[in-house]
Amino acid sequence: MDENLDDSDENIDESDYDQVIAVCTNALKFIPNSLNALYNRAKAYKSKGNYDLAIKDYTTALKLKPDLYQALDNRANIYYEKGKYNKAIKDYTSALKIKPDYIYSLTARGLAYAVKGNHAKAIADFEAALQIDPNNELAKSCLELARQERAK
């Protein structure tokens, strides 16, 4: 069964999401609490635009492993894309409690704060991201934009 899950990672890279979903769904029939299958199926669902199914799988994975910060970050990204910024911020914050230097959650949370008009918190997140990686171009450009918006 692990062999199929390895294939699902390759298929995600190849954009063959339907096969990934089928393989992971089959794996879950035999190993209902397979974190790898849930996580990879959630990634495939998200890539296909099936956000609600992806959220469901990430949520189930988090029940099995609450400190899976990548699942929190990925679920937060879906909430962000759906315009549910408060839920996104909550998940990014939870991911950062587990892994404080996770630059992806820092910059994404900063973007969510910026969209909500909370430029002070956005700036703080972008600055924190730049302390981790001073060359992060996304954090640099977002920080500049947030400062410009705050100055208006």
Residue ranges per domain, the chain?
1-65, 68-152
Long-range contacts of range 121-125, CB-CB < 8 Å, 24 or more positions apart? 122/146, 123/147, 123/150
pLDDT tens digits for 1-56? 233 333 344 445 556 999 999 999 999 999 999 999 999 999 999 999 999 999 99
CATH number of 1-65: 1.25.40.10
Do domains 1-65 and 68-152 share one topology? The answer is yes
DSSP state letter for 32 = T
33 DSSP assignment: T
d(CA 13, CA 8): 9
Structure tokens at 54: 């992806």
CATH number of 68-152: 1.25.40.10
pLDDT category at 151 given cuts 50, 70, 90 is confident
pTM exceeds 0.85: yes
Residue 84 φ/ψ, nearest 5 degrees: -95, 75
